[in-house]
Amino acid sequence: MANNIDITVTATLADIEKAISQLRPNAHETRRGFSARISSDRRSSYFKDIWAAIAVAAGVNPGNPARVTAWGLQDWSRQDDEDGFALSYPAITAIQLGADVLTDGRSPEPLDPARVRRRISRAGGVIGTGARQRTVVELDPDLPRATPLTSGSGGRDAFFEFVHSILRFLEIGAMARKTPGPAGESVAKGTILEFLYELQANAVEHGRAPRNVRFLRLQKHLYPSRTEALSHAANFQELTNYLAAQPERPSNRRFNLIEASVSDFGPGILDGFLATFAGEGHRLRPRAELLNDLLHRQLSSKSDPNAGLGIGHALAAAQAIGAFVSLRTAEFWLVFRGLIDKEPRLFFKEGDFAKIPGTHWQLLLPDPTDVGTGDERRA
């Protein structure tokens, strides 16, 4: 029988995690296929787009038939729309992993993978033209590096030039401005951007595969009040606690948050390390203990003596500016609640989580910007 999952318009991250857990085969089960129905509206919860993609990646088995249905979508007339299903995380992930993507209805219409890849390639790997978000998409082997990240000499300079330009265009003032803020604020923001660069570089270095996808997203979440923001964190207690602790804005100001996320569907932090020479001596250790050391101690597969220290610095910076951090990798989900947590470290979220492919980082940062452009849409 096929492994079937449904991700409805109202599904929370907890609902998606439950669906992923049900994909785990028992000792007597052989997977013969995978089928998912995913709502074409994926804005009811924070991070829902990437969690839907994680569910797809967890369900697709190489060599077995797989199909993803855009629930409620009747045709591909909006195929090139940046907010449409064809350019969503789950659709792109499904295409790259060899699954069929179909419309809903009696005569399902297949999505043309070549057209999607051409659309992404023509845009240089960057989706988004409005004032709400930009998403960098890198496809192996078709588009392994997004064009803006390889301009000039490439590397760090190209990344920072691109990210700063996007932050300015999206009018994310607290992150984009170069003028000094309160003592320590500009240093902390600079560290966060350095952290994003390191995450993207690590995804490229360790997340490459014959057929894979990497995402980098910068997005504004704009709400008229904290109450509405809280409604998008249902069943995610740590995020609810974080949002509830944020100060309300004055009545003439929006409740703004900035999302910065980096995802890849490679081997993941833990299994990537265990596959290296440096990881050989750690293969019998408890996996949670080892992951904790990889994140918080100087333990790395790299020869650089400073490797492994960046996450600690980044979490200290996240705490300084009151940011929320989530990490989903392998069978673990870790979170950091900014100023709520007494020390800058990731804590394991309670629960029995299925093992998933890749490494998925999400950051939420408060931003006091109250400038509107008329093209902003709530996310």
- Note the pLDDT of residue 378: 42
Q: Delimit the domains of the chain by residue range.
A: 1-121, 123-379
**What is the DSSP secondary-structure string of 178-216?**
-S--STTHHHHHHHHHHHHHHHHHHHHHHS--SSEEEEE
b/e code 123-132 from CB counts within 10 Å (16+ = b): bbbbbbeebb
**What is the DSSP secondary-structure string of 53-71?**
HHHHHHH--TTS-EEEEEE
**Nearest to residue 258, comparing CAs of 95, 106, 379?**
379
- Note the pLDDT of residue 28: 55
- Note the pLDDT of residue 366: 83
Low-confidence ranges of the chain (pLDDT < 70): 1-2, 24-32, 173-186, 207, 249-253, 298-310, 367-379
C-alpha 67: how far from its chain's center? 22
Residue 88 phi, psi dihedral angles, 5° rounding: -85, 165
- Note the pLDDT of residue 242: 95
pLDDT digits (tens, 9 = 90+) for 17-34: 999 999 866 555 555 689
Would you call 162 exposed, middle or buried from its count of C-beta atoms within 10 A (0-12, 13-18, 19+)?
Answer: buried
- Note the pLDDT of residue 30: 58
Q: Copy the structure tokens of residue 203.
A: 């995804």
